[in-house]
Structure 1
Amino acid sequence: MAGNMGMEQLIPIVNKLQDAFTQLGVHMQLDLPQIAVVGGQSAGKSSVLENFVGRDFLPRGSGIVTRRPLILQLIHGNTEYAEFLHCKGKKFVDFNEVRAEIEAETDRITGSNKGISPVPINLRVYSPNVLNLTLIDLPGLTKVPIGDQPVDIEQQIKGMIFQFIRRESCLILAVTPANTDLANSDALKLAKEVDPQGLRTIGVITKLDLMDEGTDARDVLENKLLPLRRGYIGVVNRSQKDIDGRKDITAALAAERKFFLRYVFDAKNQF
């Protein structure tokens, strides 16, 4: 407990130091435990990240949406608001405005035609509903350049990802859709390059409700197929229809719970 309290007090201090380095243009990564979210385009990374916060705040769309690393510092507090490092003194209480600011700040550096940049966006979210964590949202893996993207887009994104996940103190959330063959998971392939024993990788299997009829992810979730030290977590994402219909995260989590209860019931009835 004492060790945990020490880390709780240390995280805000190190976050401030990291902000200072960013402002000075110094690309220095302090060796504090962080959680990097890695996955292909449309793997469900945004839903996973938003579940940590309990709010809709990330840009969505087709193609590559995350075009700069987003360093998301969650800080437990009595009131809920967000702050950007590049917007000194401004508090955001409307998370739709947070999304709009991420989009505007991304375009400011990368342009509006799908360009990418390794320069991070630093966002803090204060809330009574979060734990003190530092999460990193990274661009989804892509192989074919579009718009203003460089011809070596795949290698640039991999380099951006490795900058964070190669550090021993970084926990890797490798996000893979359930309707993708796990052996072909780009996220797990990248994680394996820096964590070959799977000691600091957590597999996140998204879109469980979209699996083909008659199949299930039991062997994966029970850590039997491609074992990881920390195992796998299953997630049911909101569909685009849910998002367009403004289904909030609370309702989505309730639907996810209902799905898993039905999944367990059906599994028991097979024996």
Structure 2
Amino acid sequence: MSMRLDKYLSNMGVGTRREVKKLIQYGKVMVNKEVVKTIDYKVAEDKDHVMVYGKTIGYAVNVYMMLNKPAGCITATQDTKDKTVLDLVNHKRKKDLFPIGRLDKDTEGLLILTNDGQLAHRLLSPKKHVPKVYYARIKGCVTLADCKLFLVGVTLDDGYKTMPAKLEILSAGEASEVYITIHEGKFHQVKRMFEAVDKEVVYLKRIQMGGLSLDSNLKLGGYRELREDEVQALETF
């Protein structure tokens, strides 16, 4: 498969189409160790060796990033009112990225950003039942009875009965701490599940999606590209 040289370079974040055209015309670009000044020169992404100012520009078709989403920003690519998760990212392929799924505005934690539509489809498919693990602080005393109810599914305010969910109590009292694992992604699902047992979620953070866990060293608002083994862990679903 081949593409125009200017498109190749702009896709890899070297610059805008206009900027990379100037680089090509000024002789700053080499393909297979030869200077190329033709803008529409065709390069094979998987075979040709492209360099700009002596630096190799390898072609990566897909980008995978982990973001530790803070509260206060929305899961969207753009918005005229609120800060989006992509506003937190400074990356050469930023314009290609989109979030897989969504986290509520006030929810923190693991969010995957990518340009891989096939992976997004697999992870979000209702048929896949990809597990998502959350840490939550709850107003009210979470009990073993709640755990048993969640394990068979609870009925939400609109009459929908959820799939079985695993509820693990970390501490219980007037304020409780739990881990909850769900296999679907209904609107405000975790919050509505606890409302169904007369309790309130006061803090929610996603810590795992599929085989990928949130990097504990990643600060709120921080992000990094996924390692190959982490991408493979996601692709098993």
TM over 0.5: no
Please give the TM-score of this superposition, normalised by the length of structure 2: 0.26
- Who wins on radius of gyration, i.e. which is larger? 2
Q: TM-score, normalised by structure 1?
A: 0.24
Structure (1 or 2) with the greater helix fraction: 1
Q: Which structure features the higher share of strand residues?
A: 2
